[in-house]
Amino acid sequence: MAKSTLQSIPVSEGQSIELKIDSMAYDNSAIGRYKDFVVMVDRGSPGDYVKASVTMLRPNYARAKITEIEKFDPAYRIDPPCKIFKVCGGCQWQHLSYEKQLEQKDLLLKKFFSKLNLEDGVLKNIIGSDNPWNYRNKVQYPVRTVADTGRLKAGYFEWHSNDLVNIKFCPIQHNVFDQIVETVRELSPKYNILAYDGKKKTGWLRHICVRIGINTNEALLTLVAVNESLSKSQEFAKEVMDKHPELVGVCININTKTTNVIYGDKTKVIKGRSYIFEKINDLKFKISATSFFQVNTAQAVKLLNILENYAGLTGQETILDAYCGVGLISIFLAKNAKKVLGIEEIKQSIDDAVFSMKENNIKNIAFVNGKVENKIEEALSEEKADVVVLDPPRIGCNKKVLEAIAEKNLKKIIYVSCNPTTLARDLEILNLKNYKIKSIQPVDMFPHSYHVECVVLLEN
């Protein structure tokens, strides 16, 4: 950092300062200013007057940790129901009233999209959840072994840390997860289940993953491990399933990689089956152990209804569903379309999509396995789509995909995004290619976190 830059920063690391918090940031912090210099305060809340200790400096901002809350606004700050909220990195905004969480997300989105020069009324207010608690239908816990007991710790990492928080109760996820994970903890010494240590290359288990169909009550336990060898695996699976009748299967997913990717390519069924079913309205969906599905089932229904409204289908349209996953959007829209083509890179998700299509007796969908950027030009050449649905991962769309759509001069795009940063980038590209942003509808898929989903309608 240049000397002149250092001299322009009015705080130093370790310094104690007094601040008023003005708004939330797009992470676990809130924003205040010290002598007009931005300070991001961990677990802060708008309306707070705090004493804080500076923990990190950057040229344009500092980070600080609250040492004392001198005054707070009770309309914003509440007591979080989770006792370990202050240390757990699983969610970030539980200390805000839900009404104010929605308000702050609306303000953040206005900032994200400010460069797009949207017309009045294009950006809608966020659609909140009817019940912002116990909504998560999937949990993925990394694990550690406690040396003196042999029991497993399982939970989320602390914010900005590799220290693991042992979670016994989480109010934002389905309550059956707490019970199933606790059973795995209890049984770990009996079946010699040790956490894998990446540095020492010892142990076996990397993650405990559980998912449930909210409307079917079918649950699935997946142990992500470095190999498929678990001593007395049948006895273990039977003991867990006998204790938890919601479980329809216990699996081992094998991941030998050294990356942060949770799942490996191979899944072995120990007992039962390797998938659950979920119902959305009158449709039935197969969801395998490693397949992606929206984590908030109730809010997913609202999102699908928005999509259907934006699509404006008459029964004569051809839809291209890029990044189609297990076929949730494809199958939901197919009933009012002439034809749907879904493209998805992950083979297991395509297999699930095909299974669900047949299970629902739908015959006007074709699914293609491959990267969207490699398949989209061919797909668009075969038959011109009337509606393109983009639902990419957090990194957003490959630029090649956006260019292929623009080159074909397609009339309508519906973009579903869980990351406003990459969404704003991609919308700017489409805007420059003569696509007009007609509507942006945020949906709160992730209460008590800073994350937000948006559904965007663009027309040429």
Question: What is the DSSP track for 204-246?
Answer: SEEEEEEEE-TTT--EEEEEEESSS--TTHHHHHHHHHHH-TT
| Distances 315 to 310, 319, 333, 335, 403 between C-alpha atoms, Å | 14, 11, 10, 8, 27
- Nearest alpha carbon to residue 286 among 298, 294, 278, 297: 278
Known catalytic residue: 209? no
Q: Which of 88, 209, 324, 418 is catalytic?
A: 418
Any bridge partners for residue 53, and if so which?
A: 16, 65
DSSP code of residue 165: P
| Distances 185 to 155, 189, 208, 441 between C-alpha atoms, Å | 11, 8, 10, 41
b/e burial code for range 286-306 (CB count within 10 A of at least 16 → b): bbbbbbbbbbbbebbebbbeb
Residues annotated as catalytic are: 418
